[in-house]
Amino acid sequence: MGVPAASVPTVAGERPSRFKKLLRPLAFMSLPTAVLALFFLIPMGILVYFSFQYGDLTGQSGFTFTNFSDILSDPLYREIALTTFEIATIAMIAQLIVGIPLAYVLAYKAGRFELPLLLALVLADELNPMVRIYAWRMLLGREGLINEALMSIGLIDVPIDALLFNKFSVIVVLSTSYLTYTVIPIYASMKAVDAGLFEAARDMGAGWFTTFRRVLLPLIAPGIFIALLLVYVPLFTDFAAPTLVGGTTGYMLGNVVSDLVLENGNLNAGAAMSFLMLIAAALFSLVAYQLSRVKQGAK
C-alpha cells in the first residue's frame, strides 16, 4: 500500500458540522458499546431477573423472593460465607504484609533490578493459574514433595496431612495467585512519593516505623485501596483453588455458585447467590474506589 498523496485540505481545517459531531463518536464508540451492552449488560440484567424468578418441573414460573430468603436464612451458607471471609481476609493480609515491603524494595532499593523484577511479577501473573494450583498440589500433598523430602531426611516419620485440602492450602494458593495485583498498584503509588521525605523524617528523629506509619502509609494509601479493589473482591469469588486444594474445610462461596448452577442445575438459586455477591462486590469496590480518590485529593 502506497502512501496517499497529501490531499487538498478541505474539511480538515473547518469547524465540524453538527452531523460530523454526532458521527465521530458513533464511528468509534458504537461497536464497543454494542458488545458491552449485548454480552455484559444484558446478561447481567437477565441474571438479576432470574434471581427473582422461580421455576419448577411442572413448568410454572413467576416472581419470588424465596431464592434470597432461602440463601440468607440457611445456616450452612452463613458458615460458608464466614469461611470465605476468613480465607479471603487472611490471604489479603498475607499479601499486604509481603507486598508492601516488596513494593518498597522495588521502588527505592532495586536499582537496575527494578525492571527485571517488575517483569518477573508480570510473568508470575501470566503463568497459568491452573498450572500453579497443580504445582502446589504436587508440593503439599500427602505424597507431595515437601512430605517426601522431610521424611527422607528423617525429620518426620509420618507424612503431614495438614498441608493440603484445608484452609491453609487455599490461602497459600490464593496469596501466590494474586500477589502481582497487590504489589503493582502499591509500587506505582510509591514511585510518586519523593524519597527525600524519608530523610526529612529521619532528620527530625523519626524511627523507621514512625516514618512508615506517619509518612509513607498515608501517601501510598490510594495504591493500597486499588490493590484491595483488584484483589480482595476476586478472592471472595474464587472457586478453582478451593475445589482443587480446599477439601471439605476450604469450601467457599464460589463453590456454592458453581455447584448450584452446574451440579444442581438450579439457575435461579445460582443467579440469586451471584447477585448477592455482585452487590457486595459493587459496594466494596465503590468504597475502595472513593477512598483511593479522597486520599489522592488530600495529598
Partner 1 sequence: MPLSRRIQRALPNVLSIGLTVLVLVILFGPVLLLALFSFNDSTVISLPWEGFTTRWYSEALNDNGAMTAIGNSMFVAAIVTVASLVLGTLASWGLTRIPFRGRPLVAGVHGAVLVVPWLIIGVSGLIFFSQIEMALSLQTIILMHIVVTFPLVVAVVSAGLIRFDPSLEEAAIDMGASQAQMMRYIVLPQIAPSLAAAGIFAFAWSFNNFEISFFTGGFEQTFPVWVYGVLRHSSNLPVVNAASTVIALAQVLLVFGLWYGMRLMTKRRGGTDRDAAELVTGAVR
- For the segment 112-151, give every residue that binds partner 1 (CB under 8 A): 113-115, 117-139, 141, 143-145, 148-149
| Shortest spacing between CB 298 and partner 1, in angstroms | 18
Amino acid at 267: L
Q: Is 188 in the site for partner 1 (CB under 8 A)?
A: yes
Span near partner 1 by CB under 8 A; candidates 54-62, 71-79, 184-192, 194-202 = 184-192
- For the segment 150-179, give every residue that binds partner 1 (CB under 8 A): 152, 176, 179
- In the list 54, 68, 70, 101, the residue contacting partner 1 (rule: CB under 8 A) is 101
Q: Is 254 in the site for partner 1 (CB under 8 A)?
A: yes
Q: CB-based contacts of 256: which residues, under 8 Å, 6+ apart? A: 77, 80, 273
270-288 burial, b at 16+ Cβ within 10 Å, e below that, comes to bbbbbbbbbeebeeeeeeb
Span near partner 1 by CB under 8 A; candidates 55-63, 66-74, 198-206, 237-245 = 237-245
Query: Among 220, 224, 233, which residue's Cα sits nearest to residue 191?
Result: 220
- Contact between 271 and 198 under an 8 Å Cβ cutoff? The reply is no
Query: Site for partner 1 (CB under 8 A): how many residues?
Result: 97
- For the segment 257-276, give every residue that binds partner 1 (CB under 8 A): 257-258, 261-262, 267, 270-271, 274
- For the segment 56-95, give every residue that binds partner 1 (CB under 8 A): none
Strand boundaries in the chain, DSSP class E: 53-55, 61-63
Residue closer to partner 1 (CB basis): 70 or 150? 150
Q: CA torsion sign, 67 to 73 to 77 to 81?
A: positive
